[in-house]
Amino acid sequence: MLRLDLIGDCTMFTSAALALREHYKDREMTMVCLQVSRPIFERLGVFDKIISLPFKPEAIDWKALKGTIKDIRREKYDILLQPQLSKYAIADIIASACKCNKRISIEPIMPHGNAKPSWIKMTNFLYDRFIPYPRGVVSEFDYYGAFVRGVVSPDYKTTMPKLRVEKQHFIYGDYYILYPGGSLVQKMWPADRFARVAEYIYKQTGLTGVICGSPDEQWVADNLKASLNLITSMSIIDLTGRTTIFDVIDLIGNAKFIVTNDTSGVHIAAATNTPSVVDVGGWHFERFLPYYIEDIKPGEHLPLAAYTEMPCYYCNWEWDVVGERNPECLERLKTGQPSSCILTINVEQMITLVDQVISEVL
């Protein structure tokens, strides 16, 4: 199975991965993923072998790829599964190199995917079967569901993502998580607003706040801490850049709740059944957030999403569309500032959702 995407998307995919693995439980199964996302599938713990690519799909290291293909070609496979809707060209390169009897893919998205339409048309011959994806504004989970139904059973219903949680060894006592960073600056809610929420949480609960993020997000954590009042700042522990993905899973999984941007933290929270409050912009609204799950079990926590709908929603990060609908936002995006739809989310909206979480967990 190929799943060449980043941490958040791969975390969302875990329940579908489990359903596919259960379907092929009498087979050996290999997962091919990005190195950065490998810990997600390692923690899932159901694959016989994991092969990871030590580079980004849009910046192929051809020498490293040669070694990966050599590793893949050591085995002969029966079936190759390609369930990624917006696949990268590297997925087709690997699919062509894989010695297998059948290749099954979800129908490739056109024209706004990660591969050019001309590439998709040229490489479609590689696949023996395409599973149609649902059209319109639908959840990413619906795409996963369509693939699983096409391979496993037409009765399959999407479920919450799942990751195993182990004991964390960083914090003593109860705490909550702050996740103020993200993959794009344009998606980040301002750090001073995170600080206002943190001050409110401390006033209401006295909980320790733990900041998580990658090393290159230290500047975001520093801005958040600089915006705190003295009393609240003494209750904050900054673990930015000091944790592995495994650590982050366990920290989030053992937390009372998390307040986060639209980034991997919210999906890890969902997969570990940790209550979450997330600010959501309009670029891919309803695809990744808010969540839509067909089969919600009692006691499962959907992310609580704060947003303010605008006429420019569903822009898909297409700058010509943004420029036509919201020229002011286009200038913000070009200069690396938060998008207009993120800035319309105010502190009171987030606090309302935080109150809802606090009433449930404390």
Domain segments of the chain as ranges:
2-151, 183-361
Q: What would the pLDDT profile of 321-335 be if each residue is shown by its tens digit?
A: 999 999 999 999 999
CATH of domain 2-151: 3.40.50.2000
Q: What is the mean pLDDT of the chain?
A: 96
What are phi and psi for residue 101, nearest 5 degrees? -85, -30
Contact call for residues 58 and 29 (beta carbons, < 8 A): no
User: pTM score, two decimals?
Assistant: 0.96
What is the C-alpha end-to-end distance of the chain, expressed in Å? 41
The runs of H, that is alpha helices, within 111-234 are 117-123, 140-151, 191-205, 218-226, 230-233
Summarize the confidence of residues 251-255 as an average pLDDT: 98
- pLDDT of res. 244: 97
Summarize the confidence of residues 81-96 as an average pLDDT: 94
Model confidence at 183: pLDDT above 90: no
β strands within the chain, DSSP E? 2-3, 30-34, 49-53, 77-82, 100-106, 129-131, 175-179, 208-211, 236-238, 258-260, 276-279, 304-306
Distance CA 305, CA 290 (A): 6
Model confidence at 109: pLDDT above 90: no
Please name every residue paired with 237 in a beta bridge, in sequence order, or none if there are none: 210
User: Which CATH number fits the domain 183-361, given the four candidates 3.30.1280.10, 3.40.50.720, 3.30.1330.120, 3.40.50.2000?
Assistant: 3.40.50.2000
Q: What would the pLDDT profile of 278-323 be if each residue is shown by its tens digit?
A: 999 999 999 999 999 999 999 999 999 999 999 999 999 998 999 9
- pLDDT of res. 110: 81
Model confidence at 248: pLDDT above 90: yes
pLDDT band at 111 (very low <50, low <70, confident <90, very high): confident
Summarize the confidence of residues 64-76 as an average pLDDT: 93
Instruction: Note whether 2-151 and 183-361 share their fold.
Output: yes
Distance CA 362, CA 359 (A): 6
Q: What would the pLDDT profile of 19-66 be if each residue is shown by its tens digit?
A: 999 999 999 999 999 999 999 999 999 999 999 999 989 899 999 999
Summarize the confidence of residues 181-204 as an average pLDDT: 96
Distance CA 193, CA 180 (A): 10
Distance CA 104, CA 127 (A): 6
pLDDT band at 354 (very low <50, low <70, confident <90, very high): very high
